[in-house]
Amino acid sequence: MLSGGPITAEPSDKPWRWRSFLVTDPNGVMLDFFHPLADARVEDAAS
């Protein structure tokens, strides 16, 4: 448990190339902490 709220979802790699985990704060707000994976390519959505 983090100070102030429980971990709602353990760290995991997402198909869209993020590693993230979820925490619920004391007010019930769910926070998603994420970081793009190193080998992910950024592409223009218009292409």
Question: In terms of pLDDT, which residue wins out, 17 or 40?
Answer: 17
Q: How confident is the model at residue 36 (pLDDT cuts 50, 70, 90)?
A: very high
pLDDT in tens, 4-28: 678 888 999 989 898 999 999 888 8
Q: Which of 31, 39, 36 is nearest to 7 (CA)?
A: 31
pTM for this one? Answer: 0.61
Question: Who's near 17: CB < 8 A, 6+ residues apart?
Answer: 36, 37, 39, 40
- Print burial letters for 1-19: b (CB count within 10 Å at least 16), e (below 16): eeeebeeeeeeeeeeeeee
Q: Give residue limits of the domains in the chain.
A: 7-36
